[in-house]
Structure 1
Amino acid sequence: MAVFDPDTARSRRVRLAAVGLVALAAVATAGAFAADPSDSVPEPVAYDDATELGLSSETDALMAGDATLPRVQVFYSQLQYVVGYNGVGSFVASLSDGRTDRQFGYPLVAYVDTFDHRSPRTTDSGLLAASGSGGWTPVADARYVVGSDAHTPAGETAVPFATDEAAAAFAADHGGSVVDWAGVRNRSFGVGSAALVRSTGPERWRAADRRIAAAERRADRPVSVVVGEDAPTIAAAVDAAPANTTVAVPPGTYEETLTVNRSVTIAGGAVRGDGTGPTRVRGNGTGSVITVRAPDVAITGVRVEGTGNRTRDPDAARESRDPDGGTWDTNIQLGYGYGDAGIKAVGAPGLVVDDVVVDTNASGLLLREGSHATVTDLRVDGTDEWQDGFMGVTGMGSRVTVADSRFEGGRDGIYLHRADGSVVRNSTFADNRYGTHLMYTGDALVADNAYRNELFAGVTVMTRPAGNVIVGNDVRGSSAGIQASGTKTYVGYNTLVGNELGFSTSARGSLYEHNVVVGNELGARATTVVPSSRVVANDFVGNGDHAAAGAGALRVWADGGRGNYWEGANAGPHGGAGRAYRPTSPVDAALHREASAVAVRESPAARLLDRLRGTVPGARSGSIVDPAPAPAPYHPDRVDAATADPDADGPTPTNWRSALGEAANASALRDPTPRSRADRLAVAGGRR
């Protein structure tokens, strides 16, 4: 049942070390992994009792029963949790990532869920599907079909079986070859990584440039109807205008609501500058003011007022509560997508909104049913109390590109739900509940935005997204800076100043780097029970506490010989050279605040404790260690700017696009041919 090749020297050394640690691990652990080391190897547990890694929006369809994923559960020598891996490839990748051994210890035994009696097949789209539940087989005893026509949303997969006969039968029907565990270990499945996601950031920015340029061309149409000359109202003018022409709306206040059923541009007078433009469209205080139900509509140069105050439709939400039971996801889409808005688009792809101001008691812009939109220079002024209003932009199943806009007041500045591929950049958010709030939304770019005084958080990402890039943002004076869940998320080059919490490491298999974290009550919090992300090259300065950790295994915040900069880590007569820094240790945590902490750290007792901690790293819980703290900040200019002017209005400039472009080029030189569909998607910008 050995996980590693028993003939390798490294495996022999690790197994010998594991023998000495199993007794300690058994005493320290609980629940499904509490066992006497003299007993037999731990038996498999119910997969629901394992702590899963790799769960993301990619698995939504699988979780709904349309398809399935091969699963692995692993018992580690120094971890009190059974770790569940979605996909054999994700476990294979963990065996060589350089951090799992340190944090979890040695894999005592790993089991794979086999498909012998589950009628394995493929869906119409080629996803692996099966019925019933399988049996758990030690990974080294199973047989695997690789290279078949069955895949998961992440790409190629290995399909495990307990017997050669069942594996051969599947290969005969679906192609591929049968290999043993060694054959799987030597194969690359292209599970993707946060580093690949990082490389997509500059291309996503360029994709937004292309969308904006295309939107400008789409909106630039010849004038066919002038309101007040050719038609008495905007609604009448829209009805009279031929498709692909412009309805010109001269300065004035137009007391009306309208529905746009053809592809036209509605162009008022510019409202740039102080936002008091001369063209106003004012509703009657009920419902939405402008409703768009046609593709390629453009609305420019108007101020929209007089929306209703219905933020959601409880009747629409109740419709999903049928005898089969509506899901929370469906209820949110139905409830949130049917409220009032200044501009509401339903089934209207290609919408362009430019140079528009919306004063609203509900949503500013509501997009539903594939109303993919490009939004520039939009200002939404919401309610003073967030409970009374709603979203600046609500995107339900609609990709949105937002640039150079401002959202102030109301509930969330931008709320996106199943809006994969969206871009939010160069915008300002103030006094919202959440600034940018993503749900079930992956492959997005949130970049170079300024967030101020957000009640809950500047950027929040929830509910199993994958592949998001959150970069170059500046969050100040908020409850939290960045809280992003999901998998394969890149959080980099952000500036987090004066918040209650700078950022949390809620996303799994993700990368947090080059963030400047200054003057927060708590710089960062490790939240996932089983750590699987990298936290490296960040600057922590002037925080009440640099970092904290919830329950879970030891978090190692470094990558090889490169760690983070922690103010105070190098204090003392020896300068801290070669000594790990533990921000969760009471002594280390006080180094940048209390001069007396230096003397305590230099004491023989503290040195002995350091060495003792180093012997059984995985057995510790609720702690963080940086084995290679940097002697100086990675970004001194950004640190100095944040310290000198903590109340700055705009985002701190960074060079993230050039830095990420250089990193992507270096990666391409090392491996110029992506080896899987997942890798190709990531390199191409994460677009599916």
Structure 2
Amino acid sequence: MAVSDPYGDPSRALWIALGVLLLVAVVATAGAFAADPEAAAPSPVPYDDVVELGLSSETDALMTGSARIPRTQVFYSQLQYVVGYNGVESFAAALEDGQTERQFGYPIAAYVETFDDARPETTETGLFESESGGEWTPAAAALYVVESDARSPAGETIVPFRERGAAEAFAADHGGRVVDWETVRRLSFDTDSAATVRAMAPARWDAADGRIAAAERRADRPVSVVVGEDAPTIGAAVAAAPPNTTVVVPTGTYDETLTVNESVTVAGEGARIRGDGNGSVITVRAPDVAITGITVAGSGGQTRDPEAARAGREREGESEVWDTNIQLGYGHGDAGIRAIGAPGLVVDDVTVEANASGILLREGSHAVIRDLRVNGTEEWQDGFMGITGMQSRVTVTDSRFEGGRDGIYLHRADGSVVRNSTFADNRYGVHLMYTSDALLADNAFRDELYAGITVMTRPSGNAIVGNDVRNSSAGVQASGTRAYIGYNTLVGNELGFSTSSRGSLYERNVAANNDLGARATTVVPSSRVVANDFVGNAEHATAGAGALRVWADGDRGNYWEGANVGPHDPGERAYRPTSPVDGALHRHVAAVAVRESPAVALLDRLRGTVPGARSGSIIDPAPAAAPYSPDRLDAALAPNAGPARADWRTELADQRGDRDEDAAMNARHRNATGGGIGPETKRVAAETASAGAGARTSVIDAHTAATEGAADA
């Protein structure tokens, strides 16, 4: 039997043979549920055991109280993991994505969460809620209320029910209509929330401009007190100044610590405030305080307060011990400037010589920080953060952070913006924890011990754009969901970037001269990696255990140095950076002859068809013939080059206009044709399912027709 290319149209016989093999060649992996190949129809599993995709149920604000996202769990034919989708619309959209079938196979069984007996309602803000979780029901057997007033953070949400009476009662109270699964399949859903984050990135930049302009206005106040003329010390001057006035601090060194309890501006004229080495030098406890034109030194060296953390654990319990330790420990250390419950803080043209944190913000001390310089300790273990932000949104621009532990550490600081700043010789440059909807843009990172940008601990919606990271252990490592990582330049690092954020978009990044260009880390791939340039890396990309990763978007892939060598037209042969042969094409000329050999060609055709042969692999079916960002690539590789800049705001604005037009056209076409997939794909998938000798029949449409269930792939 001839073996056909799995990325073309496999023969019917091959599909049948592979279908039998795939249904029994399922391997359990620690940390995720593995489907039982002996079961005729797999039963639902506890949702904690699935690998989640779609909208993050962990981090969104709706996950307080009784608000919920209806969930789906799906067993795929070529994937050992049960995949959980947060949002029925996320699964419905995945069925129309040919890439999902290529990576996971077709869905053998799918269950949705139905809410007949859970008292479904909506919150005051329109979020869907219920008194308890739903019951698992086969997707094809359920009924769905669409176009109701029930919402999730991503927009309209579909609410499933087992019985028509319960669905009609919910629709009567909340609007919408009741439809079956096939109708849901024909609807169009905008579930590409990573693209939404991409579209919002320029707006976040504009919002930062607005915050900075407002901060300038707050800081510009009439002079009321001059230190040395109207008061002997800065502390005395601040105490004497009426609210909404300015305290002028002339040139000189002032050995004191002070607390600001009124909304005033402290404006230095080249002044230096020096503490005694104990505690924080300046403490702000009032809203709308501005500190400008000074140097701060002489804080204590305490980086955290163990007693505060212990008291917090006793008060809040042990369920979030680590989070409590961080917030109450890190948030109670020493700093050059410390703000407690002080929203509207403005710090402009300030230098801090930091023994611990440069600036410490907590309890909603939202701040605008411009032209800040923090000189940290030479050994990062001896110091702390340039900026520590605890539950305080920051807007940082045109600043520099050198030495110390982390340049900027933000914890539950949603909506923060860090841009146009420089980081050098830190442990991490920017380090986000539990922080979502942030913009990290146009920053430069050099010689960072662990990473330029690291995002951890269940965030969502972050945009990391236009940054330049060099000579560091890692460039960008961002976890969570719905991230946009684009237009970054990553040169000379041990690792350029990792694709550890789920449901995210990685595009237009330049990974050059790194030990490793990119690493695929999520067990179940759910992100798009497209239009990136990989040049001069010792290895372009590697992947951990899991399903096949398809790094392309339709006919648009990535540029891989070496991918287009050999006797074929550029872009017409798939490239596998994880293949020992393909991965060597840009380093060893002799690898071209090996790649074109019959044995390697056969192996390429088999790879990706069975789980055992596809684990830890990446394929780009449409490698680009030329770099996507040639000018930035040239700038990145130029000797002694400064940061490579991308005009990403203009390009994203142009792309958004094009995408809006395309989306409207596609929606009109899909709604006119009824959606779905072609009859040939339905036939092949149905035959593949039946080839399993009855081991598994499709549960998706068990109440209608088995062949239609297979067609849902």
TM-score w.r.t. the length of structure 1 is 0.90
Other structure's SS at 2:167 match: helix
Cα distance, 1:41 vs. partner? 1.9
Letter in 1 for 2:373: R
* CA RMSD after TM alignment: 2.4
Q: How do 1:80-119 and structure 2 match up within 5 A?
A: 80-119=80-119
- d(CA) in 1 for partners of 2:595, 2:11: 31
- d(CA) in 1 for partners of 2:265, 2:589: 65
Which range moves more in the overlay, 445-454 or 114-123?
114-123
- d(CA) in 2 for partners of 1:230, 1:488: 55
Spell out, residue by residue over 1:603-648, the C-alpha distance to the aligned partner (whole angstroms, 9 max, x if none): 1211222233365589611100011111121222222222232x54
Partner of 2:437: 443
- d(CA) in 1 for partners of 2:395, 2:549: 36
Cα distance, 1:108 vs. partner? 1.2
CA contact (8 A) 2:57 2:63 kept: no
Which range moves more in the overlay, 198-207 or 72-81?
198-207
CA contact (8 A) 2:57 2:86 kept: no
Partner of 1:681: none
- d(CA) in 2 for partners of 1:343, 1:667: 45
Other structure's SS at 2:581 match: helix
User: Percent identity at matched positions?
Assistant: 71
Q: Please, which of 311, 315, 318 is the counterpart of residue 325 of structure 1?
A: 318
Letter in 2 for 1:291: T
Segments of structure 2 that go 5 or more residues without pairing to the other structure are: 1-9, 668-713
CA contact (8 A) 2:35 2:81 kept: no
Partner of 1:413: 407
- d(CA) in 1 for partners of 2:79, 2:312: 42
CA contact (8 A) 1:26 1:35 kept: no
- d(CA) in 2 for partners of 1:64, 1:300: 40
Cα distance, 1:333 vs. partner? 1.4
Spell out, residue by residue over 1:231-253, the C-alpha distance to the aligned partner (whole angstroms, 9 max, x if none): 01111111111111110000111
Other structure's SS at 2:646 match: coil
CA contact (8 A) 1:113 1:137 kept: yes
Change in 2 beyond 3 A, CA 1:577/1:368: closer
Letter in 2 for 1:253: T
Cα distance, 1:107 vs. partner? 1.0
Partner of 2:657: 665
Matched, 1:28 2:25: yes
Other structure's SS at 1:320 match: helix
Partner of 1:551: 545
Cα distance, 1:340 vs. partner? 1.0
- d(CA) in 2 for partners of 1:576, 1:353: 53
Matched, 1:485 2:473: no
Cα distance, 1:289 vs. partner? 0.7
Matched, 1:594 2:588: yes
Other structure's SS at 2:582 match: helix
Q: Please, which of 304, 309, 316 is the counterpart of residue 296 of structure 2?
A: 304
Spell out, residue by residue over 1:530-566, the C-alpha distance to the aligned partner (whole angstroms, 9 max, x if none): 1111111111111110000001100011111111111
Other structure's SS at 2:396 match: strand
- d(CA) in 2 for partners of 1:618, 1:106: 17
Q: Please, which of 312, 331, 336 is the counterpart of residue 337 of structure 1?
A: 331
- d(CA) in 1 for partners of 2:12, 2:349: 65
CA contact (8 A) 2:56 2:86 kept: no
Cα distance, 1:228 vs. partner? 0.3
Partner of 1:564: 558
Cα distance, 1:26 vs. partner? 2.1
Cα distance, 1:178 vs. partner? 2.0
Q: How do 1:125-144 and structure 2 match up within 5 A?
A: 125-144=125-144
Cα distance, 1:175 vs. partner? 3.7
- d(CA) in 2 for partners of 1:199, 1:264: 38
Q: How do 1:292-441 and structure 2 match up within 5 A?
A: 292-322=284-314, 324-327=317-320, 328-441=322-435
Partner of 2:202: 202
- d(CA) in 1 for partners of 2:532, 2:319: 43
Segments of structure 1 that go 5 or more residues without pairing to the other structure are: 1-12, 270-277, 676-688
Matched, 1:540 2:542: no
Q: Please, which of 272, 277, 286 is the counterpart of residue 285 of structure 1?
A: 277
Matched, 1:578 2:572: yes
Letter in 1 for 2:311: E
Letter in 1 for 2:460: A
Q: Please, which of 496, 501, 507 is the counterpart of residue 501 of structure 2?
A: 507
CA contact (8 A) 1:541 1:566 kept: yes
Matched, 1:495 2:489: yes
Letter in 1 for 2:19: V
Letter in 2 for 1:312: R
Change in 2 beyond 3 A, CA 1:14/1:310: farther
Partner of 2:69: 69
Partner of 1:9: none
Partner of 2:524: 530
CA contact (8 A) 1:27 1:34 kept: no
Find runs of 4+ consecutive structure 1 residues off by over 6 angstroms: 13-18
- d(CA) in 1 for partners of 2:433, 2:56: 12
CA contact (8 A) 1:25 1:619 kept: no
